[in-house]
Structure formats: structure tokens, C-alpha cells
Amino acid sequence: MCRVANLSLILIAGIAATISISASAQTPPAAFGACRACHNVQKDGKSGIGPNLNGVAGRPAASLPGFNYSAALKASKLRWDDQSLDAFLAAPMKKVPGTRMPIGTPDPAKRAAIITYLKSLK
Ligand code: HEC
């Protein structure tokens, strides 16, 4: 009995290890946890309170079809690259006064991790 239980434990551990290895390319940094409440990241997935962020790096701000963006973000004429993402994520309402994105990420290291992650979402 005991050996059977041990074997299945090893099997489960093995499966878990395989899953985490295959997902590692897009494992979100801890700092992205706060974003998930509002942002979906699945390709072609539905937007939530915020727009789906899959493919956000490189696209113009406020350009995801079907999402109801603020007039402020639509008028911002930003394109999401490393610099604009960094400034927006640091203090959204300072970079784009009137945006509906409510939270900033003051820690530069966390922003860098988030931006690297966003660029991996395709
Ligand atoms: C409470 C909900 C909420 C949270 C939490 C949130 N966002 Fe947002 N986010 C929004 C909304 C709403 C918008 C659209 C803003 C607008 O239209 O002005 C947005 C817009 C954005 C955009 C611009 C997208 C585009 O298509 O132009 C990026 C990038 C973004 N958020 C990243 C993040 C990241 C990274 C985090 C976590 C650090 C985060 N957001 C947390 C609600 C949220």
C-alpha cells in the first residue's frame, strides 16, 4: 500500500514539474498579480475591467477593438514600447490624466519584470 502511495506521489510531482517547465516562458512575475483582477492575457481572450493585454507591447494605446477606452487614453497618441509602458505603469494618471487605469507600480524593478512579461504575451 505504502509503495503504491509513494509511486503516485512521485508521478504527481513529475507532472507538476513538467507543467511548470512548459509554462515558464510566460510565467507572470509576482508583481503582475495585482493586474490580473482587471486584465486578461489569453490570446483572443475577453477583456475584463481593463483591456486584454495579449500583444499590448508594440500596439498603439487604446487600440484593442471592442474595448471601451477612456477619451484620455484614446487621445494620448502613445504607442506601447518600453519607455511609454514604464512611464504609464509608474503613474498612469500622471502619464495620461483622465485614464481609467487606477493603479501605479512605483517600484522600477517590478515594472521591468512586468514589461518583460507583457512583451512575452503574443
Ligand atoms: C482596477 C482595474 C485595473 C487594474 C488593477 C490594472 N489595470 Fe491596466 N487598465 C485598466 C483599465 C480600465 C484600462 C483602460 C484605461 C483607459 O481606457 O483609460 C487599463 C489599461 C492598461 C494598459 C493600456 C492597454 C491598451 O490597450 O492601451 C496597460 C498596458 C495596462 N493597463 C497594464 C496594467 C498592468 C501591468 C497592471 C498591473 C500592474 C494593471 N494594468 C492593473 C484597469 C486596470
Structure confidence by residue, pLDDT tens digits, 42-95: 999 999 999 999 999 999 999 999 999 999 999 999 999 999 999 999 999 999
Q: Which of 39, 69, 80 to mutate to test the pocket of ligand 1 (most atoms within 8 A of CB)?
A: 39
Cell numbers found for residue 39: 486584465
Position 33 confidence tier, pLDDT thresholds 50, 70, 90: very high
Q: Which of 81, 80, 78, 85 is nearest to 104 (CA)?
A: 85
Cα–chain center distance at 106: 16
Cell numbers found for residue 94: 500622471
Cell numbers found for residue 33: 498579480
Query: Alpha-carbon distance 122 to 118, whole Å?
Result: 9
Ligand 1 centre from 39 Cα, in Å? 7
Q: What is the pLDDT of residue 6?
A: 59
Residue 1 has pLDDT above 60, yes or no: no
75 ligand 1 Cβ < 6 A: no
Higher pLDDT, 8 or 23: 8
89, 115 contact by CB (below 8 A): yes
Residues in contact with 112: Cβ distance below 8 Å, sequence separation at least 6, in sequence order? 86
38 ligand 1 Cβ < 6 A: yes
